Structures are given as structure tokens and as C-alpha cells.
Structure 1
Amino acid sequence: MTTKTATTVTNASKPAAAADWNARVPKPRKNRYRWLIILALVAVYGWAFAGVPFTGLKETAGQITKSILAGVFAPDWDYVYLPDGEDLLRGLLDTLAISIGGTFLSTLICIPFAFWSATNMSSSRAVSSLGKIALSFIRTFPEIVMAILFIKAVGPGSFAGMLALGLHSVGMLGKLFADEIENIDRGPLEALTASGANRLQLLWYAVIPQVLPGFLSYTLYRFEINVRSAAILGVIGAGGIGTPLIFALSTRNWDRVGIILLGIVVMITAIDAISGFFRKRLI
């Protein structure tokens, strides 16, 4: 009798427990503003395309796309190298040279900034904060703005593009280098300090061996980014493959635009593959 009563009480308590659990589970709220957000997005897109002349747009866009694709898949190989210097190969080599020079320049400049910004290498937190503020200030200026300033200062050409990439990359590389320095193991530093090593010996034997692989990896990664940026800077006169690209666009030479785009894609893909291989080895 006692067993039946206990079973009955247990069975009776199950619906109550389930109801209590369902009451505690929060029900999903209906988004009242969902349709309002959708209508706002539709209105924004409608306003954006309101001034586009659709008359003849389909035919023109199709012809341009066909010509560019023809330049990509059936390029004029005579344009790869021309005696007058306005060829694809020299433009790509200029872009590569701008990227290498800008990356090398930024690496040399940002190393002192990195040690200045690292909290474990500065004399106080206020000093390292000043270094971080300086790097943040440098990062605020895009490459395009710096390229325009250097074009006005040193004239159009590859040198202006190299200076723009070099100065802009200091901000980002300096931040990454500072983070790498702050994450070092302090064990070797303490061991060398206990043995009477000076600051130069601490830097050479305890800090540099730990941060060098990270520095090289970040430098290669930044080099990949600079290759893409150098291809754009030529559009405003900072040298590289962007200069013949903007000329081809302005003269509506779509076949040449296609082969330039093909060259940019091939170069960036090859550089990404090579850089990724070396970065894996370093890490």
C-alpha cells in the first residue's frame, strides 16, 4: 500500500514539475522591428540605385565584361614585354620592388617603436603608453593619403609609393612587434640578470632569439598586404602596375585591362603561396 501511494505521488508530481520547467524556460521574443528594418534596407537600396541610368546599361556592361574576360583568358602576349617600357612585366616588377622596399623600410623603423611600446621593456607604463599612442597615430593615415602627400613632396613615381607603404606599415607592424615582445618568457631574462649580464646582453641573448621568428612571420604577412596595396597606389601616380591599369581604363582598352588583372592575380597568388610556405617554417 505504501509503495502504490509513493508511486501515485511521484506520477502526480511529474506534470507539475514539467509545467514548472516550461514556465521557467524563456520564450523567444518576437522581433517587432524586423519588418521595419527590412523596409528601411529596401528604401536605402532603392535610393542608392535611383540615379543609375539603366537604359543601355545591360548591353554596355556585357560588352565590357566580355572584353575583359577575353583579355584574361585569351591575352595579347605581345603586351607582356614592350620596348617602350609600358608593358605588363615591368609594371609587375615595379609593384614588387615597391612592396619589398616599403616592407624593409617599415621593419627597420618600427623595431625601436616596438621596444618603446612594449610594457616589459619600457621604464614605466606611461612611457609605453606614449609609444602605443604614436603607433596608433601613424596607423590612422591610409596608404592613399600618404601616397598623395609623398607625391607632392618627392614627385610621382615608385619612390613615393615605397615611402607611403613604408610609413603606413610602421603603425601595424610596430603594434604586432610590441605584442610579440610583451609575450616573451621572462625566465631567460631573470637567469641572465642573476649572472650579471648587462642590458645589451639581455637583449641579444634573451629577447632577440624569442621574438625573431614572430618578427619574420609578421614581416612576411605585411609584405603580402603591401603587394596588394602597391597595385592600388599606382592608380594615383605612385608607380607600379596601377599606372598602366588606370591608363588602360581611361582609354577603354578592356583587353589590356584583362591581361593586367591576370598578371596581378598570378603575382599575388604566387607571393601568397611562397610567403605562406616560409611562415609555416618559421612558426
Structure 2
Amino acid sequence: MSMNRKLKSYLPIIIILAIILYSAAGIDYSEAGNMSFDMVKSVFSGLFQPDWGYIYDGSGEDLLSLLLLTIGIAFLGTVIATVLALPLTFISAHNLWKSNTIVSKIGKFICNVLRAFPELVYAIIFVKMVGPGPFAGVLAIGVHQIGMLGKLYTEEIEAMDEAPVESMTAVGANFWQTMFYARLPQLIPTFLSLALNHFEIAVRSAATLGLVGAGGIGAPMIFAIQARAWDKVGIILFGIIITVFLIDAVTGYLRKKLQ
């Protein structure tokens, strides 16, 4: 019996190791032979000697201009998602539809569908629909984050303290009165904190959407990599790191204020 218990305790570790070995065995390592010390040296020497002249040159295609565009794409996409996720959240929360659970199931299904695909897939679709440019990036981030924020907002509504709602209902308050005076005052700080957190994520995502023509810093980065202009790649990566760090610091401060 003790042996069976020991085997059961080690079973998850054995399964994880088996998955790791299976994954490692399925990788084609033949291309690793093409890597040389000179290639690695040229890459890292370029990355650590960034092209400082690319930071700003007034062309509108420099690092600063494209980083601002990337932040704008992320911000507008997050704003759209924050606004449109709210009605979807009210549909998805089961405690708002106790008499008709099918409505909340439909809402959660929509959230799951929207967040099932990454922003890059949405960006490819929207580039084909509206053409290449920042607007496709905004739509890609917005649609994906409607599903993400809708799910998180729904979880917050379902886990909230129902005592104020029950107290208002007991004295005759209707659905909308309890929503605006009991639920939303509790939920808005958390909703804003989640939106700020997803804005940080959106900035990282927007930095890659340019790879498929959806605007931002991604396009010049992939062109620089293809041209082996490692000094330009270095300054772009440096700019992205600084941007993400600053946004993380600002949104972290704002989230603390909302708590």
C-alpha cells in the first residue's frame, strides 16, 4: 500500500519528465550545426553597440516615433476592450442571470472564443480586412482583450460581496439601482486595475504586431534582423525594454492608488 502511495506521489513528476523527453526528441537539431562562434560574436557585438543615431532623426520612422505609435496602438486597443468588455461581462456573470443560466453560458462562450486566438492571428486577419497599418493593430488588440477582460471582469462580479446588493434589494431597489449603487462602486477600482495591467501586456503585443504589417516598432525590427543590422536591432530592443519598464512603473503606481 505504501508503495502504491509512493508511486502516486511520483506519478506527476514521471509524466512531466516523459513530456519533456518526448518534446526534446521531436525537435530537429540538424540546423544547430550551422551556428558558428563568429556568427554569435557578430550578433552580440552588434546588440551591445546599438545605433544611437536611430533614436530620433525627425523622419517619423525613427525609434522614438515608432515607440510612441506602438504605445498609442496598445492604449487605444485597451480602451476599446475595456469599454466593450463591460456589456459582455454583464451577460456572462451567472449571479446576474440566476433565473436564466443559458445567458451567462453564452456570454462566457463568446469570451472564450475571443480570447482563444492571439493578437498576431487577429492582426493578420485585420490587415487583410482593413489594410496594413496601426488601425489593424488596434482592432487586433481590442478584440483579443475584450475576451480577456470580459473573463476577468466576470470572475470579479461572481466573486464580489453580495451583502450590499441584498440590502438594497430588501428595501425595494431594482436591478439597475443595485448595479450602479452597490456593484459598480465595488468593482470599478478592480476593473481599472485589470485594464492597466492589460495595457502593459498590450504594449508588448503591439511591439510584435508590426511583423505582419499592423503598425508599430515590429516592422523595422524584423527588417533589421533580416538585414543582419544588429546595431539597429540592439537599439530597438533597448527602446522596447525602457518603454516597458517605464509603463510598468507608472501603471504599478496607479494600481496601488486604486487599491
| Residue deviations 1:181-206 (CA, integer Å, cap 9, x gap) | 11222222122222222322211111
Native 8 Å contact 1:91 1:244 kept in 2 = no
Aligned to 1:18: none
Deviation at 1:211, TM superposition (A): 0.7
CA 1:55–1:179: 2 relative to 1, 3 Å: closer
> Does residue 137 of structure 2 align to residue 158 of structure 1?
no
The one of 48, 69, 76 equivalent to 1:101 is 76
Listed as ranges, the gaps of 5+ residues in structure 2 are none
Listed as ranges, the gaps of 5+ residues in structure 1 are 1-23
Aligned to 2:56: 81
Aligned to 2:122: 146
The one of 17, 21, 37 equivalent to 1:58 is 37
Q: Using the TM superposition, name which of 188-197 and 225-234 deviates more.
A: 188-197
The one of 140, 164, 178 equivalent to 2:154 is 178
Equivalent-residue separation in structure 1 for 2:60 and 2:248 (angstroms):
27
TM-score normalised to the size of structure 1? Answer: 0.82
SS at 1:178 equivalent: helix
Aligned to 1:117: 92
CA 1:56–1:212: 2 relative to 1, 3 Å: closer
TM-score normalised to the size of structure 2? Answer: 0.89
Native 8 Å contact 1:189 1:202 kept in 2 = yes
Aligned to 2:183: 207
Equivalent-residue separation in structure 1 for 2:247 and 2:49 (angstroms):
25
Identity of aligned residues (%): 45
Amino acid at match of 1:61: V
Aligned to 1:48: 27
> Does residue 228 of structure 2 align to residue 252 of structure 1?
yes
| Residue deviations 1:43-79 (CA, integer Å, cap 9, x gap) | 96477354216256221122112111211xxxx3321
Aligned to 2:143: 167
| Residue deviations 1:208-233 (CA, integer Å, cap 9, x gap) | 10111110111111111111100011
| Residue deviations 1:101-127 (CA, integer Å, cap 9, x gap) | 000000111101111010111242121
> Does residue 103 of structure 2 align to residue 127 of structure 1?
yes
Native 8 Å contact 1:234 1:240 kept in 2 = yes
Aligned to 2:49: 70
Count of residues paired in the alignment: 252
Structure with higher Rg: it is 1
CA 1:258–1:190: 2 relative to 1, 3 Å: same
